[in-house]
Structure 1
Amino acid sequence: MSTWLVTGGAGFIGSHLVEALLARGDSVRVLDDLSTGHRHNLPPGVTLIVGDVADPDAVGQAMQGVDGCFHLAAIASVEKGITDWLGTHRANLTGTITVFDAIRRQGGRIPVVYASSAAVYGDAASVPIGETEPCRPLSGYGADKYGCELHARVASHVHGIPTVGLRFFNVYGPRQDPKSPYSGVISIFCERIAAGMAITINGDGGQTRDFVYVADVVAALLAAMALRPADSPVFNVCTGRPTSVAALAALVADLAGRPLDARNGPPRAGEIRHSHGLPDRANAVLGLPDRVTLGDGLARVLHWMTEATR
């Protein structure tokens, strides 16, 4: 039985990963400051350490005796990166370096699989976006995630720490709180449309995104941990299928059996028009299964929301 540390394990993606690790009989330790995660997301049998991922003592304690670390703790908000630039930088980049440094200080070769983001690409010159596309982030969040990749290279080549980075595109699924300021458009649309409420589409709705279901993200995390590479690779975690925001709203309404009441609001300043990735490299190296279709994933989110309100 292996023991894993999951930073940010009480959050949306982290709690799904924790469940998958427990289901295969592993032991799980979670480090989370509970700023956006919740205790109730964690199943029985998990050791929770409430602490700050940028605190060397907390991370060092959490890292003791583990076989590997899934580093997911972050403030995943472009907007928060604007209003609290320094605070988000501390959580996102300093926190990642703290994880690597805790392993260095222990003199171990504990492998780390960490969450990067499609935000590292910025407004890519062409789509679909492959991993060789230049990284030109346009937000503090994207810049910090790219910084995580650069420091992962240092961790690997200087300190001998095996690392794999996963560039998540637009992840969705159960437990993504529609009331949180960090929530994606899917959780907000599902909640409002299912309740018969109007939604606001920023701009004309023609902007496209690559929506990937959380179970597929968990599969990528588990496969990446099995690699143990020497060259600190990064992979896109995406479907390769673009969906416009307008089409997304229509699909949610159809699945919910509700009429669509959509209003167009002003476009977000600096919003990227089109973003979807190439999954080919991840598919080939990580051996990932077929992705959950958007229709099936949305149906699962709507079912979870219905069950959660009972």
Structure 2
Amino acid sequence: MYNTNYHNCDLSKLQILVTGGAGFIGSNLVRYLLKHGVKKVRVLDDFSNGHRHNLTDFSDLPNFELVEGDIRDLETCKSAMEGMDYVSHQAALGSVPRSIHDPATTNAVNISGFLNMLIALKDSDSVKRMVYAASSSTYGDSKNLPKVEETIGSPLSPYAVTKYVNELYAEVFGSTYDTDVIGLRYFNVFGPNQSSEGAYAAVIPLFMQALKDDTSPQINGDGEQTRDFTFVANAVQANVKAFFASKDAKNEVFNVACGERISVNGLWASLNTAANKKISAQYGPERQGDVRDSLANISKAQRLLGYDPEYSVGEGLKITWDWWIEHMR
């Protein structure tokens, strides 16, 4: 992974902050940047979601710096941005079920923390642009397929509310303070470093663990709900290209996906094939706050970011399964 250049500039002159860099997408972005010779990567993480082992490969590198801190503290955000050229803001509390169980903490991290990052950006004299993790959950109850950035519905969870508020704040800061911010609406990202642990783990790592353990996973609902699953390297590409996109992309949001959809049942069948197994799933109740179908129109990202998904879902699943067998218990 990450042999392809997603950038067309000299990274050796740039210092980049990745918040949530010990997390799933953040640590993959850190890997790309360090592999391609960035001058410095600074990671800001409080390890409430991320894992130290995701950073083990980088900890001794001279161009890697770890700052332990919480984005809910404004001074921490300001300090972390000092001297940086670009910021990738991946730190957040994900998970629809978690937000339903604990909306207050989700709000504090995803909204108050995001606002702190915007204030720090506004006050920074070095950062040229901040790219942040938005979410396809913003589309809410909209039935339109494929999803286009300009048409959303009503939020279906506290998490979706927080991610929509991020977009509103970014737009207002852009018009009020002329900050340069780009949002990436991720669609069901999966890949190496994604954890299967905890009550709020995503479906693909849970499926991977079930296959490794030869156990039946539980599928919520009938399994015919569809998703635009997106391999993490495609999300990394979107982040890197967003850093250096033209001013036409400034203060816009973009879908980050493959533009293809597969049912959860189809996903489980594909993973069985990749693992050369035939394990049946069990079915449980539908999960509160979930959308039924999701499919992205990625033409805006293709046009303004130069985004071009390098990996199909099938290719990503094969890479992820091989990584899972090698690295996970």
- TM bucket by the smaller chain? over 0.9
The question of 1:304 aligning with 2:328 is answered no
Change (3 A) 1:47 1:259: same
Q: In 2, Cα distance between the equivalents of 1:21 and 1:273? A: 35
**CA contact under 8 A between 1:202 and 1:265: conserved in structure 2?**
yes
- In the other structure, the counterpart of 1:97 is 115
The question of 1:225 aligning with 2:237 is answered no
The question of 1:155 aligning with 2:168 is answered no
Q: How does 1:190-269 map to 2 (within 5 A)?
A: 190-227=208-245, 229=247, 231-269=250-288
- In the other structure, the counterpart of 1:68 is 86
Q: CA deviation at 1:108?
A: 5.4
Residue number among 27, 32, 39 corresponding to 2:52 in the alignment: 39
Q: In 2, Cα distance between the equivalents of 1:54 and 1:36? A: 14
Residue number among 257, 276, 281 corresponding to 2:295 in the alignment: 276
- In the other structure, the counterpart of 2:25 is 13
Q: In 1, Cα distance between the equivalents of 2:247 and 2:46? A: 30
Match of 2:88, SS state, is: strand
AA partner of residue 29 (structure 1):
R
AA partner of residue 49 (structure 2):
T
RMSD: 1.5
Q: In 2, Cα distance between the equivalents of 1:267 and 1:209? A: 15
Q: CA deviation at 1:306?
A: 1.1
TM-score, normalising length from structure 2? Answer: 0.90
**CA contact under 8 A between 1:118 and 1:236: conserved in structure 2?**
yes
Q: How does 1:44-59 map to 2 (within 5 A)?
A: 44=59, 45=61, 46-59=64-77
**CA contact under 8 A between 1:239 and 1:291: conserved in structure 2?**
no
Match of 1:298, SS state, is: helix
- In the other structure, the counterpart of 2:35 is 23
Q: In 2, Cα distance between the equivalents of 1:169 and 1:309? A: 24
- In the other structure, the counterpart of 2:8 is none
Q: CA deviation at 1:57?
A: 1.4
Q: In 2, Cα distance between the equivalents of 1:150 and 1:289? A: 27
Q: CA deviation at 1:145?
A: 0.7
AA partner of residue 135 (structure 2):
S
Q: CA deviation at 1:88?
A: 0.8
**CA contact under 8 A between 2:84 and 2:127: conserved in structure 1?**
no
**CA contact under 8 A between 1:75 and 1:88: conserved in structure 2?**
yes
In the alignment, structure 2 segments of 5+ residues that lack a partner are 1-12
Change (3 A) 1:309 1:92: closer
Cα deviation 1:212-269 (Å, max 9, x = unaligned): 0000000000001112537410000011111000011111011101112211212223
Cα deviation 1:97-148 (Å, max 9, x = unaligned): 1011112234555310011000011021211111121242111111111111
Q: In 1, Cα distance between the equivalents of 2:146 and 2:284? A: 27
Match of 1:264, SS state, is: strand
**CA contact under 8 A between 2:131 and 2:183: conserved in structure 1?**
yes
- In the other structure, the counterpart of 2:15 is 3
AA partner of residue 159 (structure 2):
Y
AA partner of residue 276 (structure 1):
L
**CA contact under 8 A between 2:185 and 2:253: conserved in structure 1?**
yes
**CA contact under 8 A between 1:196 and 1:259: conserved in structure 2?**
no
Cα deviation 1:188-224 (Å, max 9, x = unaligned): 1111023211111111111000100000000000001
Match of 1:254, SS state, is: helix
- In the other structure, the counterpart of 2:199 is 181
Match of 1:101, SS state, is: helix
AA partner of residue 115 (structure 2):
I
Q: In 2, Cα distance between the equivalents of 1:255 and 1:287? A: 31
Q: In 2, Cα distance between the equivalents of 1:125 and 1:232? A: 26
Change (3 A) 1:4 1:270: closer
**CA contact under 8 A between 1:109 and 1:160: conserved in structure 2?**
no
Q: In 1, Cα distance between the equivalents of 2:240 and 2:153? A: 25
**CA contact under 8 A between 2:81 and 2:127: conserved in structure 1?**
no
Q: CA deviation at 1:270?
A: 4.0
Change (3 A) 1:228 1:289: closer
AA partner of residue 69 (structure 1):
V
